[in-house]
Amino acid sequence: MPTLSELTTALDALWPAGRAESWDAVGTVCGDPDAEVGTVLVAVDPVQAVADEAVRLGADLLLTHHPLYLRGTTTVGAHTFKGRVVHTLIKADTALHVAHTNADRADPGVSDALAGALDLRVLAPLVPDPDDPQGRRGLGRICELDTPLSLAAFAQHAAAHLPATAQGVRAAGDPDAMIRRVAVCGGSGDSLFEQVRAADVDAYLTADLRHHPASEAQERSPLALVDAAHWATEWPWCEQAAAQLDALSERHGWGLRTHVSRLVTDPWTAHAASGLHHDYEYPGAPN
């Protein structure tokens, strides 16, 4: 069995901490570098339910995409919900390690996993890392569908291929517009509209799209938007990361047992579809 420090050295080769955004907080949150690691749980969010799952599994390491602490803290007391997570993990000898924006920009990265889950062919990063001579690392991915779909059908396709959430998938734009080229970005991607526009795609699939950025992007010129739950767009990375861990384990003869959490930690838990309102209509919709 590897020690935590041997394992995190290997993880740092997959997702170098130096490639994380300057505001990010990646790496080991808690854990003894000399402790042996036999079982790993991979999840999106280091929330209490996931910490409890890690303990139930007897995991020695919980690997998450989202940081527990993004800003500094003066307490890990169990009277705070984050401190409670730290206590739960430390009492069970479970380490916590985070790969966030360094995993977003990796090759393969979070958006490669998202594209894979959607059966999309990746062409290039949406925002390439200038220091990658191969041009494969960076934020988001520009992709192609093997068979073009209408926007409505593509949204259905995304809903069917991403893990189920209360939010489901919503789309903006002409439901009949044909979608061939798609940009995808796992997580909150509404800061990348300029790059999406430059990529000459028919649609952009991401999460957390807000009214004004979405409305302004639509007004400028037709661009179909597909908005999925934040957690659902990043969850495919957990399976990708677990497969990468399995490959490392194989190569080093570590005999790691890797698990992927299937707890839906998206905060939204219910969805009420609007009924038909005959008093309202979408612009351009047939009467």
Structure tokens at 112: 């490669």
How far apart are the C-alpha atoms of 48 and 41, rounded to whole Å? 14
Q: How far is the CB of 223 from Zn ion (least distance, A)?
A: 22
Q: Is 234 annotated as a binding residue?
A: yes
Pick 100 or 157: Cβ nearer Zn ion = 100
Beta bridge partners, 96, equal 30, 62
Q: How far is the CB of 111 from Zn ion (least distance, A)?
A: 11
Task: Indicate the residue type of 46.
Answer: P
Q: Is 259 annotated as a binding residue?
A: no
Q: Is 230 annotated as a binding residue?
A: yes
Pick 157 or 230: Cβ nearer Zn ion = 230
The H or E element that residue 123 is part of is strand 121-128
Beta bridge partners, 143, equal 122, 182
Pick 227 or 234: Cβ nearer Zn ion = 234
Q: How far is the CB of 176 from Zn ion (least distance, A)?
A: 31
Residues in CB range of 185: below 8 A, 6 or more apart = 111, 114, 126, 139, 140, 141, 192, 204, 205, 206, 233
Residues making contact with Zn ion (CB under 5 A): 187, 234
Q: How far is the CB of 66 from Zn ion (least distance, A)?
A: 6
User: Burial letters for 102-114: b for 16+ Cβ neighbours within 10 Å, e otherwise?
Assistant: bbbbbebbbbbbb
How far apart are the C-alpha atoms of 232 and 266, rounded to whole Å? 8
How far apart are the C-alpha atoms of 138 and 131, rounded to whole Å? 10
Please classify residue 213 by burial: count the beta carbons closer than 10 Å to its beta carbon, then call 0-12 exposed, 13-18 middle and 19+ buried: middle
Beta bridge partners, 184, equal 141, 205
Pick 66 or 137: Cβ nearer Zn ion = 66
Coil vs helix vs strand at 127: strand
How far apart are the C-alpha atoms of 140 and 115, rounded to whole Å? 9
Closest-CB residue for Zn ion? 187
What strands lie across the sheet with 39-43, from one edge to the other? Answer: 27-30, 95-98, 61-64, 39-43, 257-260
Annotation: binding site for a divalent metal cation: 65-66, 104, 230, 234
